[in-house]
């Protein structure tokens, strides 16, 4: 698979440091006005979501792909055909309220606008998929470093050698995000993320990247490399960029997605998706 240009190759636009205090509505308004950049650490305590919109005649394939691959593709909402609205955020517009989009034609990336209205079609069905940025607040409370936030970078994401279960015309590899974790915090990282299965849940792999077919942590397929200290363990979570890998592999005629790391801020609170009654 061709490596998509990452922010390793171009400058990163960073969101303001006070963005944890923004409400989701404030964040969406700023993105609608043209602010772009990774959304990790924005709107503390609110659920973030990946976006993929496909023509209606591909929607069943996408829904089945997500159902068969719930770890990388946990669905939070599916829109009616042509509708740019979601029950996850009152008054929001999926065409304008993300920092940056990607537009795909026949599996090729053709544009990365900050406003997708010029590309939106009446037959598009949008899928909002849980994002691991959501559980980072729990990781931070448990003392797990969020290195990409500390370094003002986008989270590193890698295409693995683990194939997803095919669905109709869609197939492709699983994508993962990586966070370095000190060994003494590994149990907490696994526990905290596992309590939120709707936003990918617990890790899919800990340790040697070669176990996922990743040759070089310093060259992510999406996002940016981050520092991994000698005493830290690279921990990998299933990632909502997986549908974009399926688009590249399966080449549907058209799709709109979020730019990796630049998510939709919902009004939902993290605790709405957190499992209860587990010690």
- What is the tens place of the pLDDT at every residue in 246-269? 999 999 999 999 999 999 999 999
Scanning the structure block, which residue is given the tokens 């659920």? 47
Mean pLDDT throughout 230-258?
98
**Pairing state of beta strands 46-55 and 124-130?**
antiparallel
- pLDDT given at position 256: 98
What is the rounded CA–CA span in Å between residue 198 and residue 190?
A: 15
What pLDDT digit, counting tens, does each position of 102-134 carry?
Answer: 999 999 999 999 999 999 999 999 999 999 999
Assess contact for 89 and 28: CB atoms under 8 A: yes
What is the rounded CA–CA span in Å between residue 18 and residue 7?
A: 22
Mean pLDDT of all residues belonging to the chain: 93
What is the rounded CA–CA span in Å between residue 100 and residue 85?
A: 17
Question: Quick one: pLDDT band at residue 17, thresholds 50, 70, 90?
Answer: low
Q: pTM for the complete prediction?
A: 0.92
- pLDDT given at position 276: 78
For the chain, where are the alpha helices, taking DSSP H only? 24-32, 56-68, 136-141, 147-150, 186-194, 242-250
Structure tokens at 11: 């400058």
Given a cut of 70, is residue 279 above it in pLDDT?
Answer: no
| Terminal-residue alpha carbon distance, the chain | 41
Mean pLDDT throughout 163-173?
98
- Phi-psi region for residue 204, left (φ > 0), alpha (ψ -120 to 50) or beta? alpha
Mean pLDDT throughout 193-216?
97
- pLDDT given at position 278: 53
- pLDDT given at position 14: 53
Question: Quick one: pLDDT band at residue 170, thresholds 50, 70, 90?
Answer: very high
Within a 13 Å sphere around the CA of 239, how many CA atoms are in the beta-carbon half?
A: 32
Secondary structure letter of residue 132 according to DSSP: G
What pLDDT digit, counting tens, does each position of 77-105 carry?
Answer: 999 999 999 999 999 999 999 999 999 99
Mean pLDDT throughout 62-86?
98
Assess contact for 260 and 103: CB atoms under 8 A: no
What is the rounded CA–CA span in Å between residue 189 and residue 138?
A: 8
**High-pLDDT (> 90) share of the chain, %:** 91
What is the rounded CA–CA span in Å between residue 104 and residue 101?
A: 10
Task: Residue 254: count other Cβ atoms within 10 Å of its Cβ.
Answer: 19
**CA 166 from centre of chain:** 20
What is the rounded CA–CA span in Å between residue 257 and residue 126?
A: 9
Lowest mean per-residue pLDDT among 185-199, 221-235, 265-279: 265-279
Given a cut of 80, is residue 9 above it in pLDDT?
Answer: no
- pLDDT given at position 96: 98
Question: Domains, the chain, ranges and CATH?
Answer: 21-272 (3.30.2040.10)
- Give backbone dihedrals phi and psi of 91, rounded to 5 degrees, phi first: 80, 0
- pLDDT given at position 167: 98
């Amino acid at each position: 698979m061709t490596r998509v240009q990452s922010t390793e190759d171009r400058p990163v636009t960073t969101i303001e440091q006070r963005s944890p205090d923004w409400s989701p509505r404030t964040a969406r308004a700023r993105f609608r006005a043209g602010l772009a950049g990774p959304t990790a650490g924005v709107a503390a305590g609110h659920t973030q979501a990946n976006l993929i919109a496909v023509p209606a005649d591909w929607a069943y394939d996408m829904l089945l792909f997500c159902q068969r691959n719930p770890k990388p593709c946990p669905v939070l909402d599916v829109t009616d055909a042509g509708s740019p609205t979601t029950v996850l955020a009152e008054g929001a517009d999926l065409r304008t309220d993300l920092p940056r989009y990607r537009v795909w034609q026949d599996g090729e990336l053709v544009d990365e606008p900050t406003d997708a209205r010029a590309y939106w079609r009446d037959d598009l069905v949008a899928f909002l998929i849980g994002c691991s940025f959501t559980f980072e607040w729990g990781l931070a409370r448990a003392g797990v470093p969020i290195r990409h936030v500390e370094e003002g970078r986008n989270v590193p994401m890698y295409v693995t050698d683990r194939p997803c279960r095919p669905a109709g015309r869609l197939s492709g590899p699983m994508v993962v995000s990586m966070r370095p974790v000190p060994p003494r915090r590994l149990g907490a990282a696994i526990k905290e993320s596992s309590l939120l299965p709707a936003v990918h849940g617990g890790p899919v792999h800990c340790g040697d990247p070669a176990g996922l077919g990743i040759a070089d942590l310093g060259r992510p397929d999406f996002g940016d490399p981050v520092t991994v200290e000698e005493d830290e363990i690279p921990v990998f979570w299933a990632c909502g960029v997986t549908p974009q890998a399926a688009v590249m592999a399966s080449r549907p005629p058209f799709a709109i997605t979020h730019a990796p790391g630049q998510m939709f801020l919902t009004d939902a609170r993290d605790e709405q998706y957190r499992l209860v009654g587990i010690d």
